[in-house]
Amino acid sequence: MLHSTVQASHHDADHGHEKGAMAITGFWIYLMTDCLIFATLFATFGVLSHATAGGPTAGSLFDLNYVGLETLLLLLSSFTFGLAISGLSNEKKTSVIFWLFVTFLLGASFIWMEIHEFVHLIAENAGPDRSAFLSAYFGLVGTHGIHVTLGLLWLAVIIHQVLHFGLDATIQRRLACLSLFWHFLDLVWVCVFSIVYLGGVL
């Protein structure tokens, strides 16, 4: 009887480990599809970056100091997420929740600044319908912003789950996936900042 119980326990553990590995692999596949989406958007922007139709150009529209602050917020959020993962490895629930909350605030501030920038551009008659360049710009930056917003919703759900269920194996796996997603968005934004903003203004 004891032998059967031990065997069942080992079987459940192996099944859980296999399920977790499949979930991580599946998430990596999802990230690869996201890479294709952003690669297409970057390529489109590259082709249309000079198609201003006589309208405003990147040099006349973008404020590098403003975008630099946006970039700083998002990079800091990646650092604070790393601190949350550090707390996870030490099974410090309070530390994980605190740093996830700080990450949420930084990400939300980034989105607020991006929305403010979009509203300002549209008010200056530089909306996505003004030129192919601006359509490509809003498409690329807006898609990244939507991803960050979804990441914020995911963060809020994870914070709720950690509060109520602790740091069990399922929560740890979900946090690992969210960490991959968040750092991926940071990497994409570094490319946006370098190609769209720096490349357009300098």
Q: Does residue 115 lie in a domain region?
A: yes
Beta carbons of 40 and 136 less than 8 angstroms apart: no
Instruction: Give the CATH number, domain containing residue 189.
Output: 1.20.120.80
Q: Does residue 93 lie in a domain region?
A: yes
Residue 18: the pLDDT is 62
Q: Does residue 125 lie in a domain region?
A: yes
Structural tokens at position 117: 């920038």
Q: Does residue 11 lie in a domain region?
A: no
Number of domains into which the chain is organized: 1
Find the DSSP H helices in 90-131. Answer: 93-123
Q: Does residue 16 lie in a domain region?
A: no
| Residue 48 identity | L
d(CA 183, CA 79): 9
Residue 10: the pLDDT is 43
Which residue is listed with tokens 């599946």?
Answer: 26
Averaged pLDDT in 10-residue chunks for the chain of 202 residues:
45 53 82 95 95 90 95 97 87 90 98 97 94 96 97 96 89 91 96 94 80
Q: Does residue 53 lie in a domain region?
A: yes
Domain containing residue 190: 31-201
* Three-class DSSP category at 131: coil
